[in-house]
């Protein structure tokens, strides 16, 4: 039996949309090679990205910060669709986003990335536990007044919501850090304090459009 033409069409449209977003991601960052564009080509054609070399480190272009955050959130909404096309391609896209520095907004993709990859059988709960431990270290490594701290803090809250293990200490760290940022004596910017409120919400529930959505 042949495949359902409507399903083939849906997968083709999904690949096209995700390809556009990956190219937009590439336009927001400084890179010395064509690897992200090559990944976009693999997505568009449905080819495997197993042997595709990915950049080791990425930096956002000046003036592209807000656009980059929008692209990251948009891509996170596409993760379930991309998993239906190829879990390997999804892992590659997640790997590229992970190469972005903290403060870029990559924490907005954490929930969707780990939930989708765990559901697809590509990540295990051990992978999730490792990510939580690594993110805790990142949170603890930032100065309390540095706005970039909010990115791993939000990521940590999102990861804890996915964990089936007891993560009381980690959630306490999230809430204590966010409370300290919201304190009147904090030198954090108003943008950072707003993000701290979002992080508190993410630690106790799901944020529609960011940590909660129906693909």
DSSP secondary structure string for all residues of 46-112: T---TT----S--EEPTT-HHHHHHHHHHHHHHHHHHHHH-HHHHHHHHHHHHTSPTTSSGGGGHHH
Give the model confidence (pLDDT) of 127-145 as tens digits.
Answer: 999 999 999 999 999 988 8
Average pLDDT over residues 148-173: 91
Residue 214 binned pLDDT confidence (cut-offs 50, 70, 90): very low
pTM for the complete prediction?
A: 0.88
Residue 1 binned pLDDT confidence (cut-offs 50, 70, 90): very low
Average pLDDT over residues 14-24: 94
Residue 212 binned pLDDT confidence (cut-offs 50, 70, 90): low
């Amino acid at each position: 039996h042949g495949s359902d033409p409507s399903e083939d069409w849906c997968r083709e449209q999904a690949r096209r949309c995700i390809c556009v977003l990956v190219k937009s991601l590439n336009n927001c960052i400084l890179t010395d090679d064509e690897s992200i564009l090559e990944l976009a080509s693999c997505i568009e054609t449905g080819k495997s990205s197993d042997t595709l070399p990915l950049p080791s480190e990425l930096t956002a272009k000046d003036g592209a910060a807000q656009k980059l955050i929008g692209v990251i959130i948009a891509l996170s909404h596409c993760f379930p669709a991309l998993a239906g096309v190829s879990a390997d391609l999804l892992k590659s896209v997640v790997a590229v986003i992970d190469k972005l520095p903290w403060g870029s907004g990559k924490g907005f993709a954490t929930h969707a990335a780990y939930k989708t990859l765990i559901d697809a059988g590509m990540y295990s709960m051990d992978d999730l536990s490792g990510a939580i431990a690594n993110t805790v270290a990142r949170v603890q490594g930032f100065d309390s007044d540095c706005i970039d701290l909010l990115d791993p803090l939000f990521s940590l809250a999102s990861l804890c919501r996915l964990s089936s293990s007891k993560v009381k200490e980690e959630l306490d760290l999230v809430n204590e850090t966010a409370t300290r940022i919201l304190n009147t004596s904090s030198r954090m910017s108003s943008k950072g304090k707003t993000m701290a409120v979002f992080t508190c919400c993410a630690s106790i529930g799901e944020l529609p459009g960011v940590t909660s959505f129906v693909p």
